[in-house]
Chain A
Amino acid sequence: MSGGHTSAGHPPAEEEFDPDDPRMTRFDLVREGARRDGVEIVHYEPRFTTPGTPEERRIVRVIAMCFVITGLSALAFIVAYVAWPWEYDAGSNINKLYTPILGTTLGLALLFIGIAIITWAKKLLPEEVSVETRHDGASDNTERKLTAATALSMVDELGIRRRPLLKGAVALGLAPVGIAAIMPLGGLIKDHKSELLYTAWKKGVRLMHDDGTLVRPADVSAGGQITVFPAIPEGNSNKYADSPTLLIHLREQDAVRTRDNALRINKGAQWKNFVAYSKICTHAGCPASLYEQQTNRLLCPCHQSQFDITNNARPIFGPATRRLPQLPITVDSDGYFVATSDFKVPIGPGFWERS
């Protein structure tokens, strides 16, 4: 019944195709079905002319083993998912192996399904060569003519061409409806400008540590730095992610040099030996907090921009092109650090409206 079916040349084009013809084999039906989809089966040959050869049995065993492995791995996954201890426990213990075990078992299960299927296709399924003809893109010629005639007839029967008043009325009436339909898109238009220009810092906002305590000058030793946030509710949360600031206590000589180098925009921003710069890198927004106390450079870890703290945090290396904004600070009557205004320029990376 299954012999080789090589290219038989022409199909029975003169006679109509009759699926109930008793002379038709099932393969003939398959071939005709493929032909109607534009695929011509050119070469179709089973791999094993006689069933049951040792070679075939070996391959079948291999594929069966793949499925067995799949099944066992999937079972292992189910058991591990339910029964393996997973809660965090400090130190080295089997709880830490939970994720790797789930990954390995499920991965093996899926992998061997794939291996089994591919092996089946390569080794057991018949060799087949099929050719698919390339169609023209356009529809059938007759169809095109019929459709065109219908469409043109519709337009003529509507009579809009010879009734200009109707033409004008339709145009004027429907145009606003079209615009009304897209009005909800207006809700997508937002003015984010104020979010980009200003941070949570304002005149009178105190500096606070990450844990909420306010900052005194004695908190930072010479040569030290500390990350500070605005002392408002949720000041250290993502809600004010543009506000983290680095407070640096410079050594005496460096502080003098920094004050001398201060540009007009940064005049008065330094309090004694303390300077505060925005932590958000002006290149791409990573927190630039790698402070080198002897070279007075601030390094950003993402793209290695370096800012010279003693010279208005000017970038001296790396892709950043704009100085880090300086937060003007002073100490209030209670001895806590307080900002005297917001940053004088927008923080962080550049954006379209940035002047």
Chain B
Amino acid sequence: MTPARSDRPGGLRRKLGTAARLVAALVLAGGVYTAFAPSSQAEDTPKQDLSYAAQQGQHLYNTSCITCHGRNGEGVKDRGPSLIGVGSAAVEFQVTTGRMPMARQEAQAERKDPVFSNSEARQLGAYIQALGGGPQIPDGNLRGGDISAGGELYRVNCASCHGFSEHGGALSSGKHAPSLDEATDREVYAAMLTGPQNMPVFGDNELTPQEKMDIIAYVQNMKHDQAPGGWSIGAIGPTTEGLAIFLIGITSLLFATLWIAGKS
């Protein structure tokens, strides 16, 4: 099977030519691939870099959150923002209050029955924290603060939107500051720290962790406090009180007037 030497060019030149053609073909194929392959196919964080909790979180994320928040938390245009840097605090808040997974795009995400359990929420938080870092809720008891100091801070910073009695208040264009009735300590802390949706961000430089715990102590105390007037009728001020005055008070006065002045 040795070809006749006289039929083709020198052996070395032939081999070099073959090699060159091969390399050129490879470069062409690789270049075409590089040029036209979608760039968003970045690699997932390799599994061995994540803690166990974060791995579980990644699994939950990939089945529930990925459609709106993207493959690596970078966000999808017009559907969900980037989660890089939001931290586990924001994730825990949104997930344990049931706001995420969001039911639909609207003025504000409402609190609803959570889809994930608290431990699953923490796992999701751990994964997002591993992805991009961000603020975290401190562990341990968050209620060891001073109630009266918390009251002063609450009235300056929080009462304007959430109401003096923590029953919430209206904001513009269909939004509202929700009632704090169902909020747990961790949820209140996380909300202050991360400023969900339109709530301003109260970072640790503005309200120190101790001041945040003071506010939490005040809020939780208020919720279990009894109304000193007997019945707070919803504690939302003029609406229920006005209704009570008109339905009960004015009506009784009318009947009393009719009785007094009636024919006798």
Contacts and interface: CB of A to CB of B under 8 A. Distances in A.
Interface of A: 90-93, 96-100, 103, 118, 121-123, 127, 210, 216, 218-227, 287, 289-295, 297, 299, 301, 304, 306, 317
B201 A223 contact: yes
Interface string B245-262: 000000000000001101
Interface in B134-171: 147, 152, 156-157, 160-161, 169-171
Contact of A223 (B171, B177, B195): B195
A299 B200 CA distance: 13
Given A99-B230, A301-B169, A293 B156 contact: no
A292 B172 contact: yes
B200 A210 contact: no
Given A290-B160, A301-B169, A90 B221 contact: yes
B206 A295 contact: no
Interface string B167-194: 0011111010100000000000000000
B48 interface: no
23 contacts: A92-B224, A93-B226, A97-B230, A99-B230, A100-B229, A122-B262, A122-B264, A123-B264, A219-B205, A219-B206, A220-B203, A223-B201, A224-B200, A224-B201, A224-B206, A227-B157, A289-B160, A290-B171, A292-B172, A292-B175, A295-B172, A301-B161, A306-B172
B226 A226 contact: no
Interface residues of B, number: 35
B225 A292 contact: no
Contacts of A301: 160-161, 169
Nearest to A215: B206
B256 to A, nearest CB: 8
Contacts of B169: 290, 301
A223 B225 contact: no
Majority secondary structure of chain A interface residues (helix, strand, loop or mixed): mixed
A235 to B, nearest CB: 14
Contacts of A219: 205-206
A118 B156 contact: no
Contacts of A292: 171-172, 175, 198
Contacts of A293: 195, 198-201
B67 interface: no
B202 interface: yes
Given A90-B221, A221-B202, A224-B200, A96 B172 contact: no
Given A96-B225, A100-B229, 6 more contacts: A90-B225, A122-B262, A221-B202, A224-B201, A224-B203, A226-B206
Contact of B198 (A123, A216, A287, A295): A295
Nearest to A217: B205
Contacts of B161: 290, 301
Nearest to A223: B201
Contacts of A223: 195, 200-201
Nearest to B149: A211
B170 A91 contact: no
Nearest to B221: A90
A226 B160 CA distance: 12
A299 B171 contact: yes
A149 B259 CA distance: 54
A317 B172 contact: yes
B77 to A, nearest CB: 16
B230 A100 contact: yes
Which of A93, A222, A290, A306 has the most chain B CB atoms closer than 10 A to its own CB? A290
Contact of B173 (A100, A287, A290, A295): A295
Contact of B205 (A93, A121, A221): A221
B162 to A, nearest CB: 10
Nearest to A216: B205
Nearest to A300: B160
A123 to B, nearest CB: 8
B28 interface: no
B225 A91 contact: yes
A304 B171 CA distance: 8
Given A122-B264, A293-B198, A295-B173, A96 B228 contact: yes
Contacts of B227: 96
